[in-house]
Structure 1
Amino acid sequence: MASAEEHYVTSKQITTRLKRSAGQLDGVLRMMADDRPCDEVLVQLSAVKSSIDKAMKLVIARNINNCVDNMADADVKNLEQSLDLLLKTK
């Protein structure tokens, strides 16, 4: 089934998320080099962690979606709804 479901999560989305995470982590390293206060560094590290968590969810969603080729349409719809919920969670 070569449809929109097959490309529910694209490699570009995952790559974009990981590049954003890498940029945030570079920022944290600069903050450390500048001896920024601990609380500021921790806020940014938390943002990096959240971004990586979202990238992991995208990878999982893509993997699951690649397994739906032989599923009934109703099952695919239910899975899509579950994936939407997964991607929205923190």
Structure 2
Amino acid sequence: MATTEEYVTSKQIKTRLKRSAGQLDGVLRMMDENRPCEDVLVQLSAVKSSIDKAMKLVIARNINNCVDAMTTADVQNLEHSLDLLLKTK
């Protein structure tokens, strides 16, 4: 059975992905409206950022499930490293 923490994390991931889908639908509408390239690229960048954050949540959830013996500081260091990795993509 899922713990409250896992449920909240799963809910956060789903919320993030639904937001990303809505943003992507918006990009498609912008394309249909022949909006300027710059506007479309700004929105595509927002979609990419949102997807990256969802990926981070999925990976962080996996790390938490796999590393029960780690200290809180170790987990925070891993999450910080993950943040840096996603920022360099």
Give the alignment's TM-score, normalised by structure 1.
0.77
* Inter-partner Cα distance in structure 1 for 2:38 and 2:13: 29
Counterpart of 1:34?
33
Query: Could you give the per-residue CA deviations for residues 11-50 of structure 1, whole angstroms, max 9, x where no partner exists?
Result: 0010000000000000000000000000000000000000
Alignment of 1:1-90 (within 5 A): 7=6, 10-69=9-68, 71=69, 75-85=70-80, 86-87=82-83, 90=87
Cα drift, residue 81 of structure 1 = 1.4
Q: If you compute each CA radius of gyration, which structure gives the higher value, 1 or 2?
A: 1
Cα drift, residue 76 of structure 1 = 2.5
**CA contact under 8 A between 1:25 and 1:45: conserved in structure 2?**
yes
Which is further off, 7-16 or 42-51?
7-16
- Relative contact order, higher structure (CA 8 A, sep 6+): 1
Q: Would you tell me which structure has more helix in proportion to its own residues?
A: 2
Give the alignment's TM-score, normalised by structure 2.
0.78
Structure 1 gaps of 5+ residues are: none
Runs of 4+ in 1 over 6 A off after TM superposition: none
* Inter-partner Cα distance in structure 2 for 1:87 and 1:8: 22
